[in-house]
Chains A and B, each alone.
Chain A
Amino acid sequence: MPLTDADKKHVKSIWSKASGKAEELGAQALGRMLDAFPNTKTYFSHYSDLSVESGQVHVHGKKIFDALTDAVNHIDDITGAMSALSTKHAHTLRVDPANFKVLSHTILVVLALYFPADFTPEVHLACDKFLAEVSYALAAKYR
């Protein structure tokens, strides 16, 4: 389900607001995932605090969101943009790709929460497709 020109426009538009709050949104998305989907905590056994307020969650959440901003800025070549991260996830982190869907969901929740007027059904659709592409690119090197 490739991104249409309209999809790309919608993603860039909402991301222009989101990228400025990368740390807060990232922490919210990551923290909410860890809270609501406890299976995901298995990848963070080295964290002492898994709450949304945690310093560790903030640092990591920002990392995730900054990587997504990178993908938005290279929206015509998401596979290329995600290449290094894909290698890392495939060989070092080895996060089961099923979890990409879970984080994608909490990212959408956070976008809706912070930008309710902007997160129209069409923008929601575009972001859902975008995150699916990112997830696919991230899993590209797994096997």
Chain B
Amino acid sequence: MVHWTDEERQAISSTWAEINVEEVGHQALARVLVVYPWTQRYFSTFGNLSNATAIAGNPKVRAHGKRVLDALGDAITHLDNVSATYAKLSQLHSEKLHVDPENFRLLGETLIISLAAQFGAAFTPDIQAAWQKLMAVVTAALSKQYY
């Protein structure tokens, strides 16, 4: 069971309240596909991912980015039990999607970078630290059902 301080909870929820889930999801996922192009291996049905412009304009990338961020919202709503909240999602990623858990780490790092770009100085070191912790917890929870 993860211990969250009041400051960490506040840092996470106050940032989350300001996020446009569809926009940030799109930015983060598009960045992952550009910066780590091998991640495109999981999206062979998404159509044109041939360059950064194509990725940015791809409607399937946008839709999927939103889906991913909506799932993050679930974790944030259930900060005291992310493992249980993500049990089925973890199983899905392991048994059906066969996603290397390293990708959870890459997306986590990229999301933090996207948040930094959006919020600037308002994304203080303490707020970043809380989000790094959240990304680590989410990565662990999503990795939990892998055998």
**Which residues from B are CB-within-8-Å of A2?**
none
Nearest B residue to A128, CB-CB: B35
B40 to chain A, nearest CB (A): 13
A121 x B128 contact (CB < 8 A): no
B34 x A109 contact (CB < 8 A): no
Does chain B have a CB within 8 A of A119? Answer: yes
**Which residues from A are CB-within-8-Å of B120?**
113-114, 116
**Which residues from A are CB-within-8-Å of B7?**
none
B34 x A112 contact (CB < 8 A): no
Does chain B have a CB within 8 A of A125? Answer: yes
Q: Give Cα A120 to B109, complex, Å.
A: 15
Nearest B residue to A38, CB-CB: B129
B31 x A121 contact (CB < 8 A): yes
Does chain A have a CB within 8 A of B114? Answer: yes
B113 x A109 contact (CB < 8 A): yes
How many Cβ-Cβ contacts under 8 Å join chain A to chain B?
59
The proximity string for B residues 43-63 relative to A, scoring 1 for CB distances below 8 Å and 0 otherwise, is: 000000000100110000000
Q: Give Cα A115 to B28, complex, Å.
A: 17
Q: Give Cα A32 to B120, complex, Å.
A: 14
**Which residues from B are CB-within-8-Å of A119?**
113, 117
Does chain B have a CB within 8 A of A26? Answer: no
B74 to chain A, nearest CB (A): 23
The proximity string for A residues 93-119 relative to B, scoring 1 for CB distances below 8 Å and 0 otherwise, is: 000000000000100111011101001
Q: Give Cα A105 to B131, complex, Å.
A: 14
Q: Give Cα A37 to B129, complex, Å.
A: 8
Interface residues contributed by chain B, number (CB under 8 Å): 24
Interface residues contributed by chain A, number (CB under 8 Å): 23
A121 x B30 contact (CB < 8 A): yes
B35 x A35 contact (CB < 8 A): no
Does chain A have a CB within 8 A of B39? Answer: no
Does chain A have a CB within 8 A of B68? Answer: no
Nearest B residue to A101, CB-CB: B109
Q: Give Cα A39 to B55, complex, Å.
A: 36
Chain B residues within 8 Å of A, Cβ to Cβ? 30-31, 34-35, 52, 55-56, 109, 112-114, 116-121, 123, 125-126, 128-129, 132-133
Complex A-B, nearest 3 residue pairs according to Cβ-Cβ distance, in ascending order: A121-B34, A36-B129, A116-B117
Chain A residues within 8 Å of B, Cβ to Cβ? 28, 31-32, 35-37, 51-52, 105, 108-110, 112-114, 116, 119-122, 124-125, 128
Residue contacts A-B, CB under 8 angstroms, 15 given: A32-B129, A110-B116, A112-B114, A112-B117, A113-B116, A113-B119, A113-B120, A113-B123, A114-B120, A119-B117, A121-B30, A121-B52, A122-B52, A125-B34, A125-B35
